Amino acid sequence: MKVKIKCQHCGVEFIRQSSRKAKFCSIECARQGTIPWNKDKSGYTLPTRRNNEIANNGAKICNCKWCGKEFYNPAQRIKMNMMCCCLEHAKLYAKHKNTITAICKGCGKSFTVKIYKTSQTHKNGQYRTYCSTKCRKEHVTANVICHQCGKHFSIYHYALINKDNHFCSRKCLNEFQTLENAPSWKGGFHIANNTGHKIVMTNETYPKNSRTAKSGHHKKYRPEHRIAVEQAIGRKLDNNNEPIWHLNGIPTDNELHNLYVFSSRSEMMRAINGSIPFPNKSNVDMLKCQAYKD
């Protein structure tokens, strides 16, 4: 059977079962309406066991860190740093401890964030500046088109300073950085360190299965003086048996009148040693005539 009664603290009517002896409409009214355990109706302190423990053993009347109400806290709980009146309030305090309300840099909404450690940049500590990962991606990253394949991809704003990051993958970067676009491009030629000859790039390519082709260097580099002689006489020179000598001693002067083609390496060594007279005139025109007769 249900009965209507008035709350002894706030005076609001509430319904309860006749078999129960509830005098308050809620738990908050019951906490505020009951007489404290250490005082009587007049407010005087009573000689109870808990009061004796407070005086002798280090127990205290503490304020709850969550709700702020006074409660009896034994010495053992104080040693364990348990300063909340109940388990529910302890969980709420641990959840909202060291939290602040921050404003999202992206959308401008306010959100609660937990501070983990102190930082020199923020007075309140180090905390998140975006409310979610989705919001962070929308405002920190930018959509960029790959310079090689034209595909759209996302990248951080600070990474756009480096030009190597304007590609969707490493493969596209390697394909783009060839020939003129390569960072080490020197005009398609270089000077050999051992001989001083000018080495130029040709249209000839290495076979696909070779080590040089796998490393990305597809086009061959050859000495410019040998290419000039081969184009003049209309045939390929034998690399082992037809060496070329620069008559004026300048290895980068690849004019045809400055080049002499020996028939063999032994002939060149005999000319250097003085066994035979050293040539003083180019023989490229003579090789042209021989190729024309053949």
Any residues with CB less than 8 A from the CB of 132 and at least 6 apart, and which?
none
244, pLDDT greater than 90: yes
Q: Helix and strand tally (H, E) in the chain? A: 10, 13
Structure tokens at 257: 């009148």
Q: In this structure, what DSSP letter does residue 277 have?
A: P
Cα dist from 42 to 149, 188, 205, whole Å: 87, 103, 106
Cα 195 to Cα 180: distance, rounded to the nearest angstrom: 26
Q: Are 252 and 197 in contact (CB under 8 A)?
A: yes
Any residues with CB less than 8 A from the CB of 71 and at least 6 apart, and which?
61, 62, 64, 85
141, pLDDT greater than 60: yes
Mean pLDDT, to the nearest integer, of 111-124? 63
Q: In degrees, to the nearest 5, what angle opens at C-alpha 27 toward C-alphas 25 and 33?
A: 75
177, pLDDT greater than 70: yes
Mean pLDDT value across the chain: 84
Residue 65: count other Cβ atoms within 10 Å of its Cβ. 16
Hey, what amino acid is at 208?
A: K
Cα 224 to Cα 195: distance, rounded to the nearest angstrom: 13
DSSP letters of 214-253? HTT--EEEEEHHHHHHHHHHTSPPPTTT--EEETTS-TT-
- Which residue ranges make up each domain of the chain? 50-85, 99-131, 140-177, 189-293
Give the start-end residues of each E strand in the chain: 2-6, 13-17, 60-63, 70-73, 99-103, 110-114, 141-145, 152-156, 189-191, 198-205, 219-223, 244-246, 259-261
Residues 206-230: tens digit of each pLDDT = 776 666 655 555 778 889 999 999 9
Any residues with CB less than 8 A from the CB of 84 and at least 6 apart, and which?
64, 65, 66, 90, 93
Helix (H, G, I), strand (E, B) or coil at 144: strand
Residues 56-111: tens digit of each pLDDT = 888 888 999 999 888 889 988 998 889 998 999 999 998 888 788 888 888 888 98
Cα 1 to Cα 14: distance, rounded to the nearest angstrom: 14
Whether pTM > 0.85 for this model: the answer is: no
Helix (H, G, I), strand (E, B) or coil at 281: coil
Q: Are 251 and 197 in contact (CB under 8 A)?
A: yes
